[in-house]
Structure 1
Amino acid sequence: MSVWDDLVGQEPVAEQLRAAVGTDGKMAHAWLFTGPPGAGRSAAARAFAAALQCTEEPRGCGHCPSCHQVLQGTHADLEVVRPAGLSYGVKETRALVLRASSAPSGGRWQIVLFEDAERATEGAANALLKAIEEPPPRTVWLLCTPSPDDLLVTIRSRCRLVTLRTPPVSAVAEVLALRDGVDPETAATVARAAQGHISRARRLAADPDARRRRAEVLAIPRRLTGVGPAVAAAEALVKAAEADAKEMTEELNETETGALRQALGESAKGRMPRGTAGALKDLEARQKSRATRVTRDSIDRALLDLASYYRDVLTLQLGAGTELVNTDLAAELRTAASQGTPEATLRRLDAIMDCRERLGANVNPLLAVEALTLALRTS
């Protein structure tokens, strides 16, 4: 099994990266991996990093120590950056650039894999640009963003572009069945529900609570019987997203805080040395920022699930003949399609996309979702 096997439904990308590995000294020193959520941008970048560090032939064997260390995130010459909060600042970027300028300690390259690079602030992006313009000879930058337009044009122009597509539902279902042991029927169902988002499909297959929360989101259209129910539906959606974020971050927060307190010299009685309050406060601020981001990401996933409902309604109204995403709601979807018009359904889809944009602009989540549910009711 090679490192390229994790690139689900991305055969052209695997071929492009496999060819680039052999160019060595002539290879580009900055790469930009783009594609929709769930396409596997980070997985593709990590596979490429493993192949670049691989010590066997063909590169990217998947079983040598270097490949294994890169895939596990423990390779000494791989720096993985995952912005914890809503943004990544200039101070952090300058420290990252300094680390990236060092020579490889044992591997073939010094590699920086920057996930969600679009979260870099303007100052951070300018600091990153300087590093990409004049990289050390053995340093490679791998940047991941949903779209090339998410980065400064001056950064884009200096990167080799790798464009991933949404994986076919059949490819995602096959991976779940063969690698994760999910029964084929469930694999097909969650692959359709996730709309090609691989990690989302895995979570739906493994987590009953995730399936329950999705079902509650898909119940929103039939709950919009008045202003009061519409507002209540919005509140329930936001509270569910907050609970989901808390579940995802609580254990991580405790681990991080415990590790930092120990590193700063916590006594057996739980007392901290003088001068350590600032470090603990900084960690708490980062954790709050991460919780905000995770909450908004959770709401965004819910909005995409809701959009899939109206997408199915529109498909039926237009007689498109394509497969429904929510096949278990086929009867309800046909009723909704017969009671409305394609124009009204398109207005509802536009309202969902507007809500996503508002969330991206840091509008209060509850206000944004309340405005959405009221718009869905009146469209």
Structure 2
Amino acid sequence: MSVWDSIVSQSQVVEQLKAVSSGDPKAIAQSWLICGPPGSGRSNVARAFAAALESLDHGLNDEPTKTTEQVLAGTHPDVTVLATNKVTIGIDEVRDIIATSEQMPGTAPWRIIIIEDVDRMLERTTNVLLKEIEEPSAHTIWLLCAPSAQDVLPTIRSRTRIVNLAVPTNQAVAKFLESEGFEPKIAARAARLSEGHIGIANLYAKNERVMTDRDELIVGVLELHRASDAVLLAGDLIDNAKAQAEAEVNVKAAAAEADFRRVNGLDAKDRIPPKLRGAYNAIAKKDELKRRATRLTRDVLDRALNSIASVYRDVAVLQNNAEDAVGLINLENRSAITELSVRLDRTGAVRRLEDIATARRRLNGNGNPVLVFEALFCALIP
């Protein structure tokens, strides 16, 4: 399996990066900015590019090498990924990653640094990174990821080679899910509801609870009649978001513990030796798990806003007789959406999309989630 096989609907970018990784090392740009909307796979592209750069076969062979397997699994010693569950990437994290970037690679041609969501940096943090991006160490390549070039300060943007990704088509996402072993019907529905977001499509396909929560949210929005409906729907949404986030954190914590035990030769029931206790406790800090759950709750709520917006997008499609051209997202709710498209005029549909955008801004500004969604659902009542 090639390192590029997991990249969905980005053939032009893949061919470009294949040519770069297999070309003259002296001609390779050392600072890259990989841009694409959420779900386009920008982080996966960065990892695949890193694997191709580090592997002797440049990731062109169907059989993966040990190097490419390590890079894609996040265990290669010369490839470092800076990701965050926080709202912003801290300045200390960037200073640490800069120190790492200045080290010579141990086993591979390059020391590669991948920074996911570089747009989450505050300006003063970005300024710390700027010099390294402008004049990287001789054996270092920086791969920065962001939704768009406009989300990054011009000083960074002007010093990187920009790669723009497209939104994958529903057909391409469905085909990818089928290759991962999902049934065609499940793959097609997950791809449609995700609106081209690969990660969310995969989540919908494998997690029935997440899909059910989305279905119930859409029905709840379509059945809003009174303020009491809005309050109840907001409460259910917040509770479901917290439950989803906590479940995901618990799964990740269990996986981290299992990996710790495997690396240290311990079985599931073995006691942690005193000399390893400190390192073991570090992966199970309650404060850290709580912070991750808070961040993931916000991610679930952000996903909910996209789902809510899809209702009014479908309303607008019907109002403009565009279903044959672009299709509906919420096909299962077509009858109720058709009724809503008659009850609302076009201005009303657009205004509700603006209300959803306002709710997103309030949520991103650390507004109280309960109040944000109560206000939103009240505004959506026809």
TM-score (norm 1): 0.90
Residue-by-residue CA offset, 1:130-167 (whole Å, 9 max, x unaligned)? 21122111100111111222222111111111111110
* Counterpart contact for 2:3–2:59, Cα < 8 Å: no
Shift of 1:182: 1.7
Partner of 1:351: 355
Q: Does 1:132 align with 2:133?
A: yes
**2-structure distance, mates of 1:224, 1:199:** 29
Provide the rounded CA distance (Å) in 2 between the counterparts of 1:215 and 1:251.
23
Residues 163 and 281 of structure 1, relative CA distance in 2, 3 Å threshold: closer
Structure 1 position 333 matched with structure 2 position 348:
no
- 1:98 is paired with a residue whose SS is helix
The 1:60–1:111 alpha-carbon spacing in structure 2 relative to 1, beyond 3 Å, is farther
- Contact kept, 8 Å, 1:84 with 1:286, in 2: the verdict is no
Q: For structure 1, which runs of at least 5 residues remain unmatched after alignment? A: none
Q: Could you tell me which residue of structure 1 aligns to residue 267 of structure 2?
A: none
* Shift in alpha-carbon separation, 1:298–1:255, aligned structure 2, 3 A: same
Structure 1: which amino acid aligns with 2:291?
Answer: S
CA shift, 1:355, in A, is 1.0
1:196 aligns to what?
196
SS of 1:14 mapped into structure 2: helix
Deviations 1:207-238, CA, capped at 9 Å, x for gaps? 11011111111012233211111111112111
**Cα separation, 2, equivalents of 1:329 and 1:255:** 37
SS at match of 1:6: coil
CA distance in 1 between counterparts of 2:273 and 2:44 reads 42
Deviation at 1:244, TM superposition (A): 0.8
Among 311, 324, 330, which residue is 2:328 paired with?
324
Measured after TM superposition, the shift of residue 256 of structure 1 is 6.2
Deviation per CA, 1:155-203: give whole Å up to 9, x if none.
11111111111100000111111x1222222211111011111121112
CA deviations over 1:246-275 (Å, ceiling 9, x no partner)? 111134346768969xx9xxxx999999xx
Closer, same or farther: CA 59–257 of 1 in aligned 2, 3 Å: closer
1:213 maps to 213
How far, CA to CA, are the matches of 1:358 and 1:284 in structure 2?
Answer: 28
- 1:9 maps to which residue? 9
Bigger Cα displacement from structure 2, 220-229 vs 348-357: 220-229
- State the 1:342 CA deviation: 1.3
CA deviation after TM superposition for structure 1 residue 283, in Å: 4.6
> Do the aligned residues in 1 keep the contact of 2:4 with 2:59 (CA within 8 Å)?
no
Q: Do 1:54 and 1:60's aligned partners in 2 also have CA atoms closer than 8 Å?
A: no
| Unpaired segments ≥5 residues, structure 2 | 265-269
Structure 2: how far apart are the matches of 1:230 and 1:284? 33
Give 1:358-377 correspondences, 5 Å limit: 358-377=362-381
Matched residues in 2 for 1:272 and 1:226: separation?
Answer: 59
Match of 1:227 in 2: 227
Residue deviations 1:312-342 (CA, integer Å, cap 9, x gap)? 1110011113211111111111111122211
Q: Distance in 2 between matches of 1:287 and 1:20?
A: 40
Task: Verify the 8 A CA contact 2:35 2:147 in the aligned structure 1.
Answer: yes
Q: Is the 8 A contact 1:77 1:107 kept in 2?
A: yes
Local SS of the residue matching 1:4: coil
Residues 132, 141 of structure 1: 8 Å contact kept: yes
TM alignment of 1:165-180, pairs within 5 A: 165-177=166-178, 179-180=179-180
Corresponding letter in the other structure for 1:339: R
Whole-angstrom distance in 1 between the partners of 2:115 and 2:246: 25
Match of 1:110 in 2: 111
Structure 1 residues 281 and 171 mapped into 2: Cα distance closer, same or farther (>3 Å)?
Answer: closer
Aligned to 1:291: 293
Distance in 1 (alpha carbons) for counterparts of 2:55 and 2:25 = 12
Q: Distance in 2 between matches of 1:98 and 1:162?
A: 26
Which residue number corresponds to residue 31 of structure 1?
A: 32
Which letter maps to 1:140? I
Distance 2:103 2:130 in 1: 17
Aligned length: 370
- Quick one: distance in 2 between partners of 1:271 and 1:251? 24
Backbone CA RMSD of aligned residues: 2.7
CA distance in 1, matches of 2:272, 2:64: 44
Seen in structure 2, the aligned counterparts of structure 1 residues 284 and 85 have a Cα distance that, compared at 3 Å, is: farther
Query: What SS does structure 1 have at the residue aligned with 2:81?
Result: strand
Whether the 8 Å contact between 1:35 and 1:166 is mirrored in structure 2 is yes
Aligned amino acid, residue 172 of structure 1: V
Matches within 5 A, 1:92-111: 92-111=93-112
Letter in 2 for 1:45: A
Q: In structure 1, how many angstroms separate the alpha carbons of the residues matched to 2:338 and 2:62?
A: 49
Checking the alignment, whether the CA contact within 8 Å between 1:110 and 1:139 is kept in structure 2 is yes
Q: 1:356 offset after TM fit, Å?
A: 1.2
Q: 2 CA distance for matches of 1:79 and 1:367?
A: 39
Retained in 1: the 8 A contact 2:119–2:152?
yes
Q: Residue 2 of structure 1: CA displacement? A: 1.8
1:294, distance to aligned residue in structure 2 (A)? 0.9
Corresponding residue of 1:20: 20
Tell me the SS of whatever aligns to 2:379: helix
Matched residue type, 1:364: N
Between 1:38-47 and 1:331-340, the stretch displaced more is 331-340
Assess, with a 3 A threshold, how the Cα gap between structure 1 residues 100 and 173 changes in structure 2: closer, same or farther: same
Encode CA deviations 1:324-370: one digit per residue, 9 max, x unaligned.
Answer: 11111111111111222111111111111111122112212112111
